[in-house]
């Protein structure tokens, strides 16, 4: 889901830019540095959230309070909540799909069953599917919160296969995370395709077929062919 179909990273960046306009003290830290810090904090705080063990609002407030502290401003709990709500409002307003991804999924749905395996909560990802207009395209939607395991654990992929009534040999996993999607799929016996949108160096071996854009003709459809 996130950063494969839903443009999470760049939506975060756009929300951060908008929030910096309303809270000038955040601008003491350069934008690129602050954005990378936010993504690092997201990775550090999201684990319990995606397994249903922590409230997402609390985790977001912690991230924003820590960003403010890095910019030299210590916030009270109420001030942190205001900053968090402002950021969330901008994120919801500015969010967007990964360019070309929804159209590609609708096209593929004519000849294949589309499922999503995602490290997040069911409510959050169901709402995103509605926003993307893909609620009638994706089935099953399998979340780490429901299953109790997160990618790259093969058990979440096994759960998706059961729900989709599919065998590993007839399934393909398309995702942006090398460790979570490529290596996770391989551990479950599923063929992976790496969505390397930001063209980062391959972090591991063996190689996997990769593509960088859903708008580059029908590259993904070509890679999906057995």
Q: Sketch the domain layout of the chain as residue ranges.
A: 8-94, 101-224
pLDDT at 88: 98
Please report which confidence band the pLDDT of residue 76 belongs to, taking 50, 70 and 90 as the band edges. very high
Please report which confidence band the pLDDT of residue 216 belongs to, taking 50, 70 and 90 as the band edges. confident
Please report which confidence band the pLDDT of residue 204 belongs to, taking 50, 70 and 90 as the band edges. confident
CATH class of 101-224: alpha beta
Average pLDDT over residues 24-39: 96
Q: Work out the percent of the chain whose per-residue pLDDT is above 90.
A: 96
CATH class of 8-94: mainly alpha
Q: Distance between alpha carbon 42 and the CA centroid of its chain, in Å?
A: 11
pLDDT at 22: 97
pLDDT at 226: 76
The conformation of residue 202, written as its DSSP 8-state character, comes to P
Cα angle 212, 217, 222 (rounded to 5 degrees) comes to 80
CA-nearest of 212, 139, 218, 208 to 179 is 208
Distances in whole angstroms, Cα of residue 174 to Cα of each of 31, 180, 183, 201: 30, 11, 11, 17
Please report which confidence band the pLDDT of residue 218 belongs to, taking 50, 70 and 90 as the band edges. confident
β-bridge pairing 138-143 and 172-175: unpaired
Average pLDDT over residues 85-109: 97
Average pLDDT over residues 85-90: 98
Q: Rounded to whole angstroms, how far apart are CA atoms 58 and 79?
A: 13
The string of pLDDT tens digits covering residues 127-153 is 999 999 999 999 999 999 999 999 999
Q: Rounded to whole angstroms, how far apart are CA atoms 134 and 111?
A: 16
pLDDT above 80 (res 200): yes
Burial class (CB in 10 A: 0-12, 13-18, 19+), 62: middle
Average pLDDT over residues 12-39: 97
CA-nearest of 163, 159, 186 to 175 is 186
CA-nearest of 122, 64, 119, 123 to 91 is 64
Average pLDDT over residues 61-67: 97
Please report which confidence band the pLDDT of residue 119 belongs to, taking 50, 70 and 90 as the band edges. very high
Mean of all residue pLDDT scores within the chain: 96
pLDDT above 80 (res 217): no
């Amino acid at each position: 889901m996130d950063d494969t179909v839903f443009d999470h990273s760049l939506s975060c960046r756009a929300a951060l830019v908008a929030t910096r306009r309303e809270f000038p003290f955040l601008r003491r830290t350069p934008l690129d540095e602050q954005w990378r810090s936010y993504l690092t904090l997201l990775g550090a705080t999201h684990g319990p959230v995606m397994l249903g063990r922590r409230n997402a609002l609390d985790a977001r407030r912690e991230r924003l309070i820590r960003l403010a502290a890095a910019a030299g401003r210590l916030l009270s709990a109420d001030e942190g909540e205001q900053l968090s709500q402002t950021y969330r409002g901008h994120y919801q307003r500015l969010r967007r799909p990964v360019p070309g991804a929804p159209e590609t999924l609708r096209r593929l749905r004519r000849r294949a069953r589309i499922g999503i395996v995602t490290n997040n909560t069911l409510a959050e990802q169901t709402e995103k599917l509605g926003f993307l207009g893909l609620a009638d395209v994706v089935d099953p939607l399998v979340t780490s919160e429901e299953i109790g395991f997160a990618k790259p654990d093969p058990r979440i992929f096994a759960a998706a296969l059961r729900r989709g009534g599919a065998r590993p040999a007839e399934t393909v996993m398309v995702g942006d995370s090398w460790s979570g999607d490529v290596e996770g799929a391989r551990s479950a016996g599923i063929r992976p395709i790496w969505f390397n949108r930001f063209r980062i160096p391959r972090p591991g071996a063996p190689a996997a077929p990769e593509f960088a854009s859903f708008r580059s003709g029908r590259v993904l459809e070509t890679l999906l062919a057995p």
